[in-house]
Amino acid sequence: MSGVRQFDEQIILPVVLDVFWRNGWQASSLVEIARATGVQRGSLYNAYGSKDELFLHAYALYTRHFIQSVTEAMQGSDLQEVLHKFFKTALSNMTMGTPSKGCLTTKMLIEIELTSMPVQQSIKTFMQELKEVLCLHLSRPELAVSLALKPSDAADVIVTFVRGIAVMERISEEPEQLMSTCETFIHVITR
């Protein structure tokens, strides 16, 4: 039957995401994605039209999950504890898998000039949404009172710091050391 998808998007998008996450943008091809998902390349083209569109669908799944995880981590009234949970969530995201896959967004940022405008915009939108979620939670009076910075400035430096941690994760063999660095950073931005 022409035009009817012969695959379950809920099943293949996590697999697609994994291919991009492991390989980055440039090294991920529709041939490899077809092999990993078990879906013919032509079916992927018919459903999504391009590698870009397929990535955008998979990345939307990733960003929704990550923002939800951050929102859950940011619950609580003790700023240092909340930030500890946030960094633990971010590090957990980077270090899962064997070998660890790193940070998908940072991998995409490194190759951003190789991507299309819609992919670039999706990444920028996610980064902005992450800053907004952090700022929203850091603006809560019980947390803001313990910040050494304005909540918006703290959100900016946290997002930037996480990019640095993501790069360092690629050469670190000890997630505990990265968490220790995060703890030091927490002490720098809190009072």
CB contact burial 109-146 (16+ within 10 A = b; e otherwise): bbeeeebeeebeebbeebbeebbebbbebbeeeebeeb
Q: Report if residue 174 sits inside a domain.
A: yes
Q: Report if residue 2 sits inside a domain.
A: no
Can you tell me the distance from the alpha carbon of 41 to that of 48, in angstroms, rounded to the nearest whole number?
A: 10
Residue 11 tokens, joined: 């099943």
pLDDT in tens, 20-39: 999 999 999 999 999 999 99
Q: Report if residue 3 sits inside a domain.
A: no
Q: Report if residue 138 sits inside a domain.
A: yes
How distant, in Å, are the alpha carbons of 42, 62, 139 from that of 34? Answer: 9, 19, 45
Q: Report if residue 136 sits inside a domain.
A: yes
Give, to the nearest 10 degrees, the angle between helix 41-48 and helix 51-73.
Answer: 70
Total of domains in the chain: 1
Average pLDDT over all residues of the chain? 93
**Any idea what the CATH number is for the domain that residue 108 is in?**
1.10.357.10
Considering only CA atoms, give the Rg of the chain: 18
- Confidence class for position 1, pLDDT limits 50, 70, 90: very low
Q: Report if residue 115 sits inside a domain.
A: yes
At 101 the three-state DSSP class reads coil
Q: Report if residue 46 sits inside a domain.
A: yes
Percent of the chain with pLDDT over 70: 97
pLDDT in tens, 71-122: 999 999 999 999 999 999 999 999 987 788 889 999 999 998 889 999 999 9
Can you tell me the distance from the alpha carbon of 132 to that of 105, in angstroms, rounded to the nearest whole number?
A: 17
Q: Report if residue 74 sits inside a domain.
A: yes
Cβ-Cβ contacts under 8 Å for 132 (sequence gap 6 or more): 155
Owning domain of residue 39: 9-189
